[in-house]
A and B are shown apart, each in its own frame.
Chain A
């Protein structure tokens, strides 16, 4: 399989994300055969509602992986922001206009601190963000140990309302990816991320402000995490310090599956979007097929290995 893919890629028959598109097509066909409720507007609008949180954190993670880093504080940060929003709002709709911008600034700010520490202490981002994750999680727990707080009904509507039969969250997700994609590909600053991830030294010698670009990438990751946390708290209605924890590792899979390599400098948000679709639809399909959520973990692990295996053989072949 991987040999065939490698050959096709060498002959330029497959662009980077065609592999994922192919897998997606296979899964959708399989899903249609397994259940007649699979390929329905109802199921897909449900799917998009489920997907928005994973999509946003994966989008954030794409920025850090593109510059050759990683952010392991995403889960703790998302939990902290849900706790902040739910505790701060506490049923009052008039405070939404304060809570939302503050939550976004909190996310971007913590991200910027991650980037700054990693850049100036010259410590591997793995360690910095891991440490930051502990700090954020501990502080959140000191404030609130159990899920609590509440958000006004108006706020919950964001997570559940539809516009022309499609959930608002789906528009938001697609818009976020589109903006990020255009920014990365079409603007100077966006392309600097690729430059820094591809060859830091060359980027520096070419006058790219490497440190600032790196800090920006982590700030963006934190910002996307805050958006995800806002949807999360709108959906669940409470602030829960632990709710985000699985997101840290979940955010990495779609990025890798989408062809962004851990070493940095290659990939992009479109691949990540396909990766999010693939992971979400696959889990949805496994639900339809009655496969327990436990085996879905196994499948996710296998997806990582297979995806990395395919991209590896490509690099050797090409």
Chain B
């Protein structure tokens, strides 16, 4: 059975639609880069490219998680709220010493996993639609967070948190390294393991997956846990970048992460898409934002362009895959 599935996946990867789907985005990205390079020679300088990617790293982490949720025919609206909640949790230790950072990470991952479990339980076991379940979680987290902070921003953070955003290991920015590790882990899980195949199966046809001996419920819950954990980690890295915890850290990431994943070819109908594609979607999204600024458009133009692109990308993949 597994062999058949593999064959099907491989065949799909080599079909015309698959080729187009894969390389369409790369061609689009190349076009964007050429426009950027022509407009501003500084754009393709290594410094600017690293800067652009560094800013995108937390979003990349969230997108990896979001991909899992979308693959099982869902979506996760609670990621941004969770990012801010994790950021507030990080300040709750009131620590000024770097030795607390590992503890912060452990606590953040545990909290995120619990939120993911709640989402997954509501969706898989209670049959609540992913939209409503994650919406409810989002609002609850938001309320709890505000009730704790009273709405005021906090900046009691170990100084080492800033290193997450600006530090380098062997010349590579720490957050890009972390994103890379997360991506490899997610990629191996998704594309090289049994669980990954089960995720695609559940996303394509939950009934068939069930008859094959896979528990769609457990796979769905796992995907929402992964989504939340990735968002939680992304929240900590974003916190390192912004330095101060406002209650709105990560605002907009829920929509941006969905936009990036959809642009990267992750189908909202489930069962289709890859980690690499989703990350390419992130790159395209940040390059567009950067390009809007380089071209001297007002910054609000980013919103307009983002909106047009999300509709266009969804329509594009829809046409190709029908």
Contacts and interface: CB of A to CB of B under 8 A. Distances in A.
A262 B123 CA distance: 14
Contacts of A142: 298, 300-301, 304
A123 B315 contact: yes
A309 B121 CA distance: 12
Interface stretch (A96-104, A230-238, A300-308): A300-308
Contact of A294 (B143, B259, B308, B309): B143
Question: What class of interface size applies to chain A in its complex with B?
Answer: 35 or more
7 contacts: A122-B318, A131-B307, A138-B303, A249-B135, A249-B139, A298-B139, A312-B128
A138 B128 CA distance: 33
A202 to B, nearest CB: 21
B315 A121 contact: yes
Contacts of A139: 300, 304
A305 B128 contact: yes
Contacts of B301: 138, 142
Interface string B150-176: 010000000000000000000000000
Contacts of B209: none
Contacts of A299: 143
Interface in B108-162: 122, 126-129, 131-133, 135-140, 142-147, 151
A135 B308 CA distance: 7
A283 to B, nearest CB: 12
Contacts of A300: 139, 143
Contacts, number: 129
Contact of B135 (A117, A124, A141, A252): A252
Interface string B242-268: 000000000000010011001000001
Nearest to B145: A294
Given A138-B303, A298-B144, A131 B128 contact: no
Contact of A135 (B131, B151, B298, B304): B304
Which has the most chain B C-beta neighbours within 10 Å: A133, A141, A262, A297? A297
Given A124-B314, A138-B302, A308-B128, A298 B143 contact: yes
A305 B143 contact: no
- 8 closest cross-chain pairs (CB), A and B: A138-B303, A297-B143, A134-B307, A301-B140, A298-B143, A138-B304, A135-B307, A294-B146
Interface string B74-108: 01000000000000000000000000000000000
B304 to A, nearest CB: 4
Contacts of B189: none
Interface of A: 70, 117, 121-124, 126-128, 130-139, 141-142, 145, 249, 252, 256, 262-263, 292, 294-302, 304-305, 308-309, 312
Given A127-B262, A294-B151, A297-B140, A134 B128 contact: no
Contact of A127 (B139, B144, B304, B314): B314
B135 A304 contact: yes
Contacts of B305: 138
A131 B311 contact: yes
Contacts of A70: 131
A134 B304 contact: yes
A119 to B, nearest CB: 12
Given A123-B318, A308-B128, A117 B298 contact: no
Interface in B164-221: none
B137 A301 contact: yes
A135 B303 contact: yes
Interface string B274-293: 00000000000000000000
B143 A134 contact: no
A305 B133 CA distance: 7
Nearest to A263: B129
B318 A121 contact: yes
A145 B122 CA distance: 39
A136 B147 CA distance: 32
Contact of B132 (A121, A141, A308): A308
Nearest to A309: B126
Contacts of B136: 301-302, 304-305
A296 B143 contact: yes
Contact of B311 (A123, A138, A294, A305): A123
A123 B308 CA distance: 13
